[in-house]
Amino acid sequence: MAEQNPIVGTCRTMCPVTEFRFRSKHNLLHSFERARPTHQQTAKNETSDLCVKEFRRSAAGENVSDPRNLRTPETLLQTVNYLFTTILFKEGAQFNFIYDFIFDRLRSVRQDAVIQQLQIVQPMLCIGILERCVRFYVYAAYRAKLQPGLNIELHINTQHTNDCLKTLLLMYKGVGFKFRERVKLHHRLSLVAVHMLLHMQCHDTLCGLLINVPSHWWKQEPLQTVVGVIFAVFHKNYVRAVKLSQKLISEKRNIVLIAFSLSVDALRLDCVKMLCHSHSS
């Protein structure tokens, strides 16, 4: 149950001043949080504009609910956009290094959002934040699949993906699955499709989606194609499943295709088992 008077953050920077001063004093700033030095500056060139609040668990003697250390909803969205436009594809940095930084900072963003109950106070803004988080987690899982040497805890990454997807479904339902802008509806349809593909072999999750998502959504793409793919998989018709997935390629549903590729390994194994059984009988 929501509090009658939710906490309202007042910090308008990506990192509270007190945290920046503490981390700067003790040399705890990440390399991404230091400005590139010029020929007249040292490598310790520090600026609060580049610093992003890190995740911290609540502990004895520390008040994580202090409004002065909680970023405003608009600042949270600005922080997420900064992470994805400036940090995610930073030149010269290894992806596992980038992943660790963004993963931690997104966790902090979500913590601030939960404390301020943004899912109730500003649901549409909170939806925008969580959708960006899901896209990052799915993309990271795909990168880990392409590069097995990446030091990414896929179990934890998957857990955060599922947490965000479950919260998003509840929030979509809370606003009545009504989105005025066509572009935003497109994003939401894609993420429901991602949810289905990542849980293709989990009947409880799929049944929950079929029950909660309104019927008119299932007639729109990419959901219509994804439902066809899943029914084909249920009937062990993998040829049809692959043919239907081609439609996602032609429509450039990138995030949906990534989710499908993450589920292909299990389907491939099941297909091989079926062929071995048929040839041995």
Give the pLDDT of residue 273: 78
pLDDT tier, 44 (very low <50, low <70, confident <90, very high otherwise): low
Give the pLDDT of residue 183: 75
Give the pLDDT of residue 46: 64
Q: With 50 as the cut, is the pLDDT of residue 36 above it?
A: yes
Beta bridge partners of 279: none
pLDDT tier, 43 (very low <50, low <70, confident <90, very high otherwise): very low
The one-letter amino acid code at 261 reads: S
Residue 71: phi and psi, rounded to 5, are -75, 145
DSSP secondary structure letters along 55-121: P----TT--TT-GGGSBPHHHHHHHHHHIIIIITT-TT--HHHHHHHHHHHHHHHHHHHHHTTHHHH
Residue 46: phi and psi, rounded to 5, are -115, 140
Percent of the chain with pLDDT over 70: 92
Note whether 232 and 238 are within 8 A (CB).
yes
d(CA 230, CA 139): 21
| Chain position carrying tokens 């590729």 | 261
Question: In 3D, which of 225, 228, 163, 214 has the Cα closest to residue 185?
Answer: 214
Note whether 167 and 130 are within 8 A (CB).
yes
- More confident position, 3 or 218: 218
Q: How far is CA 255 from the centre of its chain?
A: 11
Residue 34: phi and psi, rounded to 5, are -115, 135
Q: With 80 as the cut, is the pLDDT of residue 38 above it?
A: no
DSSP secondary structure letters along 179-224: -SSHHHHHHHHHHHHHHHHHTTT-HHHHHHHHHHS-GGGGGSTTHH
pLDDT tier, 37 (very low <50, low <70, confident <90, very high otherwise): low
Give the pLDDT of residue 20: 95
Give the pLDDT of residue 173: 92
> 33-47, 218-232, 249-263: which range is least confident on average?
33-47
Q: Per-residue pLDDT tens for 148-187?
A: 888 899 999 999 999 999 999 999 998 888 877 777 888 8
Question: In 3D, which of 114, 230, 124 has the Cα closest to residue 176?
Answer: 124
SS3 at position 46: strand
Q: Per-residue pLDDT tens for 94-126?
A: 999 999 999 999 999 999 999 999 999 999 999
SS3 at position 71: strand
